[in-house]
Amino acid sequence: MVNITYDASNSIDWTDPDASPPVTWVYNPGDIAWVLASTALVWIMVPGVGFFYSGLLRRKNALSMIYLSMMTIAVVSFQWFFWGFSLAFSETGSKFIGDLKYFGLKGVLEKPSIGSTRIPSIVFCIYQLMFAAITPMLAIGGFAERAHLGPLLFFVFAWSTLVYDPIACWTWNANGWTFKLGGLDFAGGTPVHISSGTAALAISVYLGKRRGYGTEALAYKPHNTTYVILGTIFLWFGWFGFNGGSALAANLRAAQACIVTNLAASVGGLTWMIWDYRIEKKWSAVGFCSGAIAGLVAITPGSGFVGSPAAVLFGFMAGTLCNFATQLKFFAGYDDSLDIFASHAIGGVIGNLLTALFAQASVAGFDGFTSIPGGWLDHHWIQLAIHLADSAAGLGYSFVMTTVILWIMHFIPGLRLRVDEETEIVGIDQADMGEFAYDYVGLEIELKPSAYAISTAPAIEDGRMSEMKETGSSQ
């Protein structure tokens, strides 16, 4: 039996048998319930990303992104159990990555978690698993429309181990170098958004451009705007657990995180939509959803540190700068089909830098026990330099390590990711899955006439040869 008892308030008491004198830790059921509920909220964000990405793509690739969201949850769940949690959050690790103290989740149960002594380790573990799952899903949107699905199983496992776990360790582990410097990243500006957005850039550079890039062939509108909105709903809904749950307790700081999260998303969506209106003179639902996601990304690192007025600026800056950053791919010549770098990497950097400027010790203290020196509002000037270093490290490390993983896979039989031109024409859903998001009537309408002619030419040629043989034999 686990050595726990319940006190008069029904809180869980655990006494450390190895401590001298004995130390009793108290876990409030309300805190545990809030973190477990937040776990479910973050889980639904992963298929939310899948629907968001799917709606933005062409119909022939719609199912693959929804499938990848579920596959990512499964692969990372195993990786987190196997060694991911230990590599990110073991107390005996280095300043860059943990060790295998918790290999196979051995010893992860009733002891106080490294994230907060107010919840047991097992609760912290399952909550952090959801962060580990959504991060590679954000990144693999860079593979959209031009990568085989099978090798992505390996990629997700390797990327989570070599990219996400080290960055999570240096950001949130008490031994991490950013943590020791005093970096303020409440819910994952660098580990989640900068790492995934930069990985998507590396993926786009490695894969090269899609067929027809720069021509009218790729001048398509999102095939299902309803999916885009549905994905945004799942993401916005789940982000209350993503940011609010990062307080790791049901308290005023969690409530404040929820307030600024909703406010930044609202302002970001409106800002992006208005910027788009100046060009198209149309009120774009896709533009609003893109801006809302950018606002959510930006507020993530600062959600437990900034006040509500600052959240308005977070949303405005993200909606503006991320919108303009979508043009970077045309100047640099890479094909980021879903603008992941512009939304997540740029948005993450914006959030990190604004957090350094507007973080307040008073807001962090809403939980009653957190004490920080604050940012520039509290005259703590060095905070900006710390966040610049952290952002640059996240950008550089993620890009280099992602590129290394991709090129190693490139030379391993069966793990090469880039599809051939014929597969790209037909679509990933048909080529790699044989299943579709919808009843796929009218394939020739989805494909360009020339592409359809190429794909059906062998059958036509075979038919002509048969006719010639039959004619010759009759004569």
Residues contacting 385, CB < 8 A, separation 6+: none
pLDDT averaged over every residue in the chain: 91
Q: Distance (Å, rounded) from C-alpha 130 to C-alpha 76?
A: 9
Residue 24 forms part of a structural domain: no
Place of tokens 């009120």: 283
pLDDT in tens, 33-58: 999 999 999 999 999 999 999 999 99
Residues contacting 193, CB < 8 A, separation 6+: 138, 297, 300, 344, 345, 347, 348, 351
Are 167 and 97 within 8 A, CB to CB? Answer: no
Count how many residues are written for the chain.
475
322, pLDDT greater than 50: yes
Q: State both tokens at 436.
A: 């579709």
Q: State both tokens at 57.
A: 């793509």
Say how many Å lie between the first and final Cα of the chain, rounded. Answer: 91
Are 170 and 177 within 8 A, CB to CB? Answer: yes
3-state SS, residue 119: coil
The residues with which 27 forms a beta bridge, in sequence order, are: 12
Residues contacting 221, CB < 8 A, separation 6+: none
Q: Distance (Å, rounded) from C-alpha 213 to C-alpha 226?
A: 25
Q: Which of 171, 283, 174, 304 is nearest to 225 (CA)?
A: 283
Residue 440 forms part of a structural domain: no
Q: Please give the pLDDT value at position 461.
A: 47
Q: Distance (Å, rounded) from C-alpha 109 to C-alpha 118?
A: 13
Domain CATH code at residue 97:
1.10.3430.10
pLDDT in tens, 90-134: 999 999 999 999 999 999 999 999 999 999 999 999 999 999 999
The residues with which 120 forms a beta bridge, in sequence order, are: 112
Residue 44 forms part of a structural domain: yes
Q: Which of 394, 364, 393, 392 is nearest to 378 (CA)?
A: 364
**CA dihedral for 41, 44, 48, 49, sign (positive or negative):** positive
- For residue 77, what are the domain limits? 32-423
Q: State both tokens at 426.
A: 């037909």
- Residues 331-355 have a mean pLDDT of 95
What is the amino acid identity at position 437?
A
- Residues 183-196 have a mean pLDDT of 96
Residues contacting 121, CB < 8 A, separation 6+: 107, 108, 109, 110, 111, 112, 113, 114
Q: Distance (Å, rounded) from C-alpha 226 to C-alpha 411?
A: 40
The reported pTM is 0.90
Q: What is the 3-state secondary structure (H, E, C) of 358-422?
A: HCCHHHHHHHCCCCCCCCHHHCCCHHHHHHHHHHHHHHHHHHHHHHHHHHHHHCCCCCCCECCHH
3-state SS, residue 281: coil
- Residues 310-328 have a mean pLDDT of 96
Q: Helical H runs in 118-216?
A: 121-139, 150-159, 165-172, 177-181, 195-207
465, pLDDT greater than 50: no
Residue 474 forms part of a structural domain: no
Q: Please tell me the total count of domains within the chain.
A: 1
Q: State both tokens at 309.
A: 């007025």
Instruction: Give the least confident one: 5-14, 327-336, 433-442.
Output: 433-442
Residue 2 forms part of a structural domain: no
- Residues 122-151 have a mean pLDDT of 96
Instruction: Give the least confident one: 134-143, 185-194, 374-383, 465-474.
Output: 465-474
251, pLDDT greater than 50: yes
Residue 443 forms part of a structural domain: no
474, pLDDT greater than 60: no
Residue 391 forms part of a structural domain: yes
Residues contacting 125, CB < 8 A, separation 6+: 80, 85, 89, 105, 108, 113
Instruction: Give the least confident one: 161-175, 181-195, 453-467.
Output: 453-467
* Position 213 confidence tier, pLDDT thresholds 50, 70, 90: confident
Are 25 and 112 within 8 A, CB to CB? Answer: yes
Residue 452 forms part of a structural domain: no
Q: Distance (Å, rounded) from C-alpha 223 to C-alpha 215?
A: 18
The residues with which 5 forms a beta bridge, in sequence order, are: 13
* Position 2 confidence tier, pLDDT thresholds 50, 70, 90: confident
* Percent above pLDDT 70 for the chain: 92
- Residue 224 Cα distances to 55, 134, 357, 472, angstroms: 5, 22, 39, 51
